[in-house]
Amino acid sequence: MSALTPKPFAVKEIYFTLQGEGAHTGRAAVFCRFAGCNLWTGRESDRAVATCDFCDTDFVGTDGPGGGTFASPVALARAVRACWDADPRARAASEAPYVVFTGGEPGLQLRAELVEACHAAGLVVAVETNGTVVLPEGIDWVTVSPKGDGALAVTRGHELKLVWPQGLDPTSFEGLDFECFFLQPKDGVDYDVNLDAAMRYCRAHPRWRLSVQTHKYLGIP
């Protein structure tokens, strides 16, 4: 591989599901989970020193369902489209196939050629990012979920979804250029307390909407 040859895409898993949280809750989607994150190594031994220390996602390696390395944007776009088309009802539906690039941190690997290849494959492209990496243009739905003290490079998009509490003040994001703002109670041993606090916050600050992780309630991946 020459120095100019882009690295293959490292993908943990690709699967067909329903979006579980945020503005598109309940929407059929292919999730493409990139391997790797810039705010945590994914190793438990590093969690205490990670910028983001409450992650509940396995984004290490390429060994999940549908995962692997993909040599080109077209190859990855085809794999995503094939995942959607594997369900005959989804394939026959009139709605455009929808892909959510997530991670890990998708911004580390998502580039304009992949967005273009996905569009050429008929896919609507969404991304869920921690917002610390500049994204390519042309993404159809950008969700930024700030984590820890990682400085934001993405300050505009469609949806800002703050996992809360995590030492960040929701009001500090209200000046950013997003269409909607979601507060999502942080999972873990304090979940009930966090849910109650988030509900009270949203009642007192109607700009913020409550987002709950419905896939966890429903037991879907």
Catalytic sites, residue numbers: 31, 37, 52, 55-57, 128, 215
Least gap, CB of 147 to ligand SF4 (angstroms): 4
Least gap, CB of 165 to ligand SF4 (angstroms): 15
Instruction: State the number of binding residues for ligand SF4 (CB under 6 A).
Output: 12
- Classify 216 as helix, strand or coil: helix
Answer left, alpha or beta for residue 219, where phi above 0 means left and psi between -120 and 50 means alpha: left
Name the token pair of 183: 């507060």
Site for ligand SF4 in 75-114 (CB under 6 A): 103-105
Place of tokens 């196939």: 97
Question: Which of 24, 147, 161, 186 is close enough to bind ligand SF4 by CB under 6 A?
Answer: 147
> What would the x/- binding string for ligand SF4 be over residues 32 to 51, using CB under 6 A?
-----x-xx-----------
* Angle at alpha carbon of residue 213, lines to 207 and 216, rounded to 5°: 165
Instruction: Give the DSSP letter string of 24-52.
Output: GTT-EEEEEEES--SS--S-GGGGGG-SS
Does 186 engage in binding with ligand SF4 (CB under 6 A)? no
Does 130 engage in binding with ligand SF4 (CB under 6 A)? yes
Least gap, CB of 154 to ligand SF4 (angstroms): 13
Least gap, CB of 86 to ligand SF4 (angstroms): 26
Distances (CA, A) of 175 to 156, 170, 172, 199, 200: 10, 10, 7, 22, 22
Give residues in contact with ligand SF4 (CB under 6 A): 37, 39-40, 52, 55, 57, 59, 103-105, 130, 147
